[in-house]
Amino acid sequence: MTLLYRLDAHAPAIAARFGASSRNDPWAGGHVAPGGFAPVVTTGREFVAGPRPQGTPTRRMIPRVWGVPPPPSAGDPARGIATVRNLDSPFWIGNLRNSEFRCLVPATAFMEWGKGVDREGKRRQYWIACADQPLFAFAAVWKDSEVPSFALITCPASAALRELGRETMPAIVPADPAAMHIWLNGGWDRARDLIAPYPSAMTEIRASRDKLK
């Protein structure tokens, strides 16, 4: 399960990449871990119920916390849910079907633990980036509660990540602008098709002490 990623870009560059207004977002680049704030691109209207207005919604880049507060039945209500693994869960399905609650989470690389150990006997870390889009976006969903939060969507691991010992990976939205539009604005029947392993040929993987390759 992905619990760390990097976003090595400033807010204006992120907003320009995803065609969003940033409203003076202070993001200057760095790591993101669960419980931390990070830029999120959405066309949704926070705290507003009802159908979308007519016309093309405006994309906005806003800060949200990584980790959605769990349902009351959860064993640890203080621990946020960082990833969505069951797309048919009653906790998520309403938000996933309503495009206003789907969002893009910009990133430049994400970390996964892999098989084996490094020279110091520590579990090996790998960083994964996209060869075809240096600044990419995870498919994600947001919820409104006391905390403005989001969770990343996961999917089966690609062949390249399975070689590292991973069974799942975060869903990455293709570079095609049409795919991003579908995730933010399309029906769930089309958006769900985007939740798929990112092509191995389009990924760059490096161990924590190596260069991307």
Mean pLDDT by 10 residues, the chain (213 residues): 92 96 89 96 73 75 94 76 96 94 97 80 89 97 87 97 95 97 96 98 83 41
The first and second tokens of residue 107, run together, are 């990133």
Q: pLDDT tens digits for 124-150?
A: 899 999 999 999 999 999 988 777 899
pLDDT value, residue 44: 80
149-156/83-84 β-pairing: parallel
**Which residues on adjacent β-strands are paired with residue 171?**
none
CATH topology of domain 5-45+57-207: hypothetical protein yedk fold (3.90.1680)
pLDDT of residue 54: 67
**Model pLDDT, residue 52:** 61
**What pLDDT does residue 213 have?**
38
d(Cα 201, Cα 160) in Å, to the nearest integer? Answer: 8
What is the per-residue burial (b if ≥16 Cβ within 10 Å, else e) of 142-173? bbbeeebbbbbbbbebbebbeebebebbbbbb
